[in-house]
Amino acid sequence: MKYSKGDKLYVAIGASQVRRRLKGHGFGVRKVHSDGKHRAVIIHTATGEHLQALEALFQDVCERPTTHDGNRQVPNVQQTESSAQ
């Protein structure tokens, strides 16, 4: 996948389904890429209220927290809790 500027949101539905949900909204979405079977990556520039609206639109299928600054990933909450025990 070619590098695109923006944050990434991983969802557990196909790219075509993501595009259908986004139709008419926008929310700063730049690209939608397939990330395997029934998985997609949404590359976006949404901030503030638009980011909250985008996450709310995909809250039922969101896999991981949004990544920021392109290459740096926010740690998964479940991994952090299990390592603390």
First to last CA, the chain: 36
**Residue type for position 26:** G
Rounded distance between C-alpha atoms, residue 49 and residue 61, angstroms: 19
Domain boundaries, the chain: 7-84
- Read off the pLDDT of residues 44-63 as tens digits, 9 standing for 90 and up: 999 899 999 999 999 999 87
What's the token pair of residue 48?
Answer: 């503030």
CA distance 6 to 30: 8
CA gap 74, 59 in Å, rounded = 17
Is the domain defined by 7-84 classed in CATH 3.30.70? yes
Q: Identify the band that residue 75 occupies on the pLDDT scale cut at 50, 70 and 90.
A: very low
Residue-wise pLDDT for 19-40, tens only, equals 999 998 888 899 999 988 989 9
